[in-house]
Amino acid sequence: MSLRLFNSLSRQVEPFVPLTPGQVRMYVCGMTIYDLCHVGHARMMMAFDVVQRWLKASGYGVTYVRNITDIDDKIIRRAVERGITIRQLTDEMTLAMHQDIAALGIEPPTHEPRATEYVGQMLDLIGKLEGKGLAYRAANGDVNYAVRKFQGYGKLSGKSLDQLRAGERVAVDDGKQDPLDFVLWKAAKPEEPTDAKYGSTYGDGRPGWHIECSAMACALLGEQFDIHGGGLDLQFPHHENEIAQSEGASGKRFVNYWLHNGFVNVDNEKMSKSLGNFFTIRDVLKHHDGETVRFFMLRTQYRSPFNHSDAGLDDARSGLRRLYTALNGVDQGALGKVSLADIDWSQPHAERFKAAMDEDFNTPLALAVLFELAAELNRSGSLAVARLLKALGGVVGILQQPPQAYLQGDAASAGGLDVAGIEALIAARTEAKKARNFAESDRIRDELAAQGVVLKDGQQGTSWVKA
């Protein structure tokens, strides 16, 4: 019970107590997949990847659900523009998402439901809400949620209905009884493609966005579960509406802990296409390896705003190289494989790492412990220290590559180095040394040094890293 979380619902840090001892059920709002994922999406998925990793490291069994929204106005529009079916578009974008986030070391969730597979459950939930007088059929064919009939509306955003009404941003539809009401079922329009239409007792149409997550979460995790996460931009209205729907239907508290990750800025400005500072994950991976991007994100606590910049990525690369360089200084054969089971949590460094992660997943403080271990490893060359460094790194998804492979691969991707050419020059230098042609050996070493390549001669031969 040492884990403490900042709960957006109470707006304070609370001890974490799961509904079922030893088990955690967590739902995170995933992607609406009409295009490639961007840095903001990566930041959200990274944040909750770290959450589920630490829960597992803390001994919990974790059921982690992260959905895919595969029916939506933007999806329909994009599919029509491209002249393909909705399923073709969403399959293509789901595959691209999986490839991109795998490069960042983001683990798959336990379940990844697609909204289109749960339309039946959504309609059942809408029926319950209608039966309780919380939903009504509008003249335009939509089914809407009657916000003012749910007593607790506004508790997540911390705003009263009158405050929300004063700041109303949603366009008023003729079919709504109140501007704050939101759609549960959208009536089909004649011009929409047939694969965007689902049959129901309300007529052909499709579910509203908010009802999708309520239905998928309840179907896979039950009417009550432990943690619900997502980006800060979803706190209102999406998560507020999820609470209204789910608690309105069940009469039970929906979620105990609400977690929200902070916004992404680019060079201290909000990321947006209009400002020309919008980056997809693939844009970033063209210039930086996935582990560097992951490490960069870990340097900011998940609730804080994250500032994406080339300077920050370069600094992150230098920091990660320092950790790998320390590990590279020990015999890798003797180091062997390490795992969570190798960590003695009573060891002072491990204890500090745990204290940092237990305080609302404070990854910057946890990484500071890794740098302490690297400094000690550089001084002592201790295999025990190296094992602990690698094992703790693994808890947050870093330092699991062979150090030399990372240092060389990172050098190649970052500096455009010709790895094959470097290896050929090292082989030529080895032959020159055998022939006692030390002038040629020195010339090759100097040529490589000019490229930023440092040679290390050892009993196993010559290895290299980027300076």
Per residue in 4-29, pLDDT (tens digit) is 999 999 999 999 999 999 999 999 99
DSSP assignment of 283-336: HHHTTS-HHHHHHHHHTS-TTS-EEE-HHHHHHHHHHHHHHHHHHHTS-HHHH-
Size of the chain, expressed as the number of residues it contains: 467
For 257-292, the pLDDT digits (tens) are: 999 999 999 988 888 777 778 899 999 999 999 999
Q: Is 213 annotated as a binding residue?
A: yes
For 326-376, the pLDDT digits (tens) are 999 999 999 999 999 999 999 999 999 999 999 999 999 999 999 999 999
Q: How far is CA 126 from CA 65, 132, 210, 405, in A?
A: 22, 10, 11, 54
pLDDT digits (tens, 9 = 90+) for 439-457: 888 898 888 888 778 887 8
Give the CATH number of domain 19-265; options: 1.10.1200.10, 3.40.50.300, 2.60.120.10, 3.40.50.620: 3.40.50.620
Residue 218 annotated as binding?
A: no
Q: What beta strand segments (E) does 59-111 contain? A: 61-69
Angle, helices 39-57 vs 383-395, to 10°: value is 120
Give yes or no for residue 78 having a pLDDT over 60.
yes
| Number of Cβ atoms within 10 Å of the Cβ of 362 | 16
Q: What is the pLDDT of residue 446?
A: 87
Note the pLDDT of residue 431.
84
pLDDT above 60 (res 112): yes
What are the phi and psi torsion angles at 23 (to 5°)? -125, 140
Partners of 257 in beta bridges: 227
Is the separation of the CB atoms in 36 and 100 below 8 Å?
yes
State residue 378's pLDDT score.
96
pLDDT for res 414: 47
pLDDT of residue 155: 95
Neighbouring-strand partners of residue 252: none
pLDDT, residue 282, reads 96
Token pair recorded at residue 428: 């030529």
Class of domain 287-405: mainly alpha
112 alpha-carbon distance from chain centroid: 14
Answer yes or no: is pLDDT of 93 > 70. Answer: yes
Average pLDDT of the residues of the chain = 92
**What is the rounded CA–CA span in Å between residue 436 and residue 431?**
9
User: What's the average model confidence in pLDDT over 156-169?
Assistant: 75
Query: Which of the four pLDDT bands, split at 50, 70 and 90, describes residue 168?
Result: low
Determine contact, residues 299/316, Cβ cutoff 8 Å.
yes
pLDDT (average), residues 32-61: 97
273 appears as a binding residue in the annotation = yes
Q: What 3-state DSSP class applies to 129? A: helix
Give the burial string for 138-166 (b: 16+ CB within 10 Å, else e): beebbbbbbbebbeebbebbebeeeebee
How many Cα atoms are found within 13 Å in the side-chain-facing hemisphere of 462? 18
Indicate if the pLDDT at residue 422 is higher than 60: yes
User: What is the CA 466 to chain-centroid distance, rounded?
Assistant: 30
**% of the chain surpassing 70 pLDDT:** 95
Per-residue model confidence (pLDDT) at position 80: 96
On whether the CB atoms of residues 219 and 118 are closer than 8 A, the answer is: yes
Distance (Å) of CA 432 to CA 179, 216, 420, 441: 81, 66, 18, 6
Q: For 206-237, what is each residue's pLDDT tens digit?
A: 999 999 999 999 999 999 999 999 999 999 99
- Distance in angstroms (rounded) separating the CA atoms of residues 52 and 41: 17
DSSP 8: T
Q: Where are the alpha helices (DSSP H) in 329-418?
A: 332-335, 348-358, 363-380, 383-395, 403-415
